[in-house]
Structure 1
Amino acid sequence: MKKTTIVLKIVVLLPCLLFLLSCDKINPDHASSSILLVTRINGYTATGDSADFLQSDVYEGQWPAGTIVADIITATLEARLKEPETIGLGPSYQNRIVLHSYDVTYRYIDSTVGVSGTPADFRGEMSVALDIDSLVDVSFVIIREQAKAEIPLSNIINTNELLEVVATVTFYGDDIAGNPVQATASLTIYIADYADA
């Protein structure tokens, strides 16, 4: 009778133990089973209409009574599983992604004669959580006030000069298990001292 009880305990406990171990796998190569996607970056025109590019006004208002304002845009981010399960319990809480920072780098494309170069690259911080199979809109700075007050952008204030750059934005985060994830997207930016109505 004792042997039967022990065998029954093993038969019942072993599958439970194996199930619990399979739910919390340690990932030795630190590769997340979640992926982060940028599904859209939404800029705007100089008049404020939504666009897939950005017209950045280096100086808002009439010179010298105007002001310098950072350009804030929105990105739509999505979290997915690398290998979606067709059968099973679905994503684990450990697949959830938490974003912690982003980098913006600029690449020179074209300009009028009086200006060249790009704003300084920079890093921003954020705290945004994404569940698997969800979308979230994230607002972030694409051109800082400080960049507009420095050369080459300050050379555009109160002129007809135009600078075209491409901004590459990389978002960084980790899944709840601590594995890193990232996603990159680009946006064309036309920088000028646009006419104020």
Structure 2
Amino acid sequence: MSPDEIKVALQTAFYRCDMASCPLSDTQKEILLHVLEQVKGNSYPPVSDLANPLDELTPEELQAFLEFVKAQEEQNHSWKVQLLNDWLNENNSGAVQFIRDRYGLSWVNRIEPHHFDRYSAKDILKLKVGDHIEVCNALWEWVQDDGPCPREWYSCTVIKVDEISNGNYASTNCIIRFNNGSEFEIQGIYEWNRFHWRRPQG
């Protein structure tokens, strides 16, 4: 549907709501039409620009939480499952008990894997075998944001992670498998190719 067709459909929906004695307020109608205009002009914010729940934590809380998440991931445990199990069994969550006390379940449920992206670059959260990520075609071809070959993202699964150390220099290589079964090695996944992969965007 074109944006104009969507606008007509919205107007029809407004009319039907009125006929069903369930009218929308003028403010609700304005909000819906405003969102339509944003979509029409492609000015709606990308996922990465939406509020990150981690930004609501104090620096001390953030550090404690990220250390907790890292420790859980190193043991191949889900940090969310661990927190929820603690809460269901009324166990104290130790250094991250503040999440239950101050933020609650709704805050935990708002966190998506891509919210950790900015912290992955700081070596706080590392990839592990089985993680699902998205990679950019810039890894294997020349792309230009305004050129004939645009940036595209592809889903894949991490199947191997190698940490390589040569004296004073260390890097991490990663082998991924695409949905079609083909595999690709990303060298320097944290070092020089960090901007070519991301956590799934929802």
* TM-score between both structures, scaled by the size of structure 2: 0.23
Q: Which has the higher strand share?
A: 1
Considering fraction of residues, name the structure with more helix: 2
Instruction: Give the TM-score normalised by the residue count of structure 1.
Output: 0.23
